[in-house]
Structure 1
Amino acid sequence: AYSVVLVALVGVLVSLLLLRSDVETSILRTPGMTYQVREDGRISNLYNVSMLNKTTEELPLRLELVSPAGELSWVGDGISHVEQQASAEGTLFMIIDKQNLNPMKTEVEVAVYRGEELIETVKTNFMGPF
């Protein structure tokens, strides 16, 4: 009976290791910051980005705003790569046209690419005017 439990636990562990993603990305709105209306009328929010590389090689990474249409603008150098088994943190502005936003809160999707390969899609909220 114990050997069956042991085999089941080893099987679960192996499957979890094989199914995990290479990168874990977290995009959270900066606490205490409200949206900003830019000179061109677009709305921007400030976000903190954290990326964790779970592989044994350095990864070239880039982020793209999938929906709604808009732009990402890094504060400073941004994150272009993450060292092996390390994490990187940065800050960026998400800038979206007002007509592409829902009142108050809009769910946005950001794609994480390794070169041209899509690794994952991260969802977060974009706060805007009423």
Structure 2
Amino acid sequence: MDAAEYALQQLTTWPDLSPGPPSCDVGRALVAGSNEIVHIHSARSADVHLTATVIRRMRGELERSHELRLQGDSPWVTIRIESPSGARLLFTLTSLALHAHARREGDPVPAAPCSAAAGSPPAAM
């Protein structure tokens, strides 16, 4: 089992997340209510809908991670999940995203597209 499959298997046990179709039509998605939170695009990468508010607040810390890629002004971040540390980062950022969406720090609907929908190659980092 690769790290992405392991991460997806673990995240589907979280009570606030459920599988759903990704709006980008690439890979699999996990949603909380009507909010897409995680897109698993490949065996090596995932996007997390952190929200623009959280990214602005944490930009410095996020930019220092070699396992993470910011996408301009997008509320999504791409995580390389090729190892257990990448999976742990995915879990941490998914938790932050759930809190942000629950506290209504979500972005206006419709949200900006994830990396796959925006045309970025999901696995390239």
TM-score (norm 2): 0.26
Greater strand fraction, Structure 1 or Structure 2: 1
TM-score (norm 1): 0.25
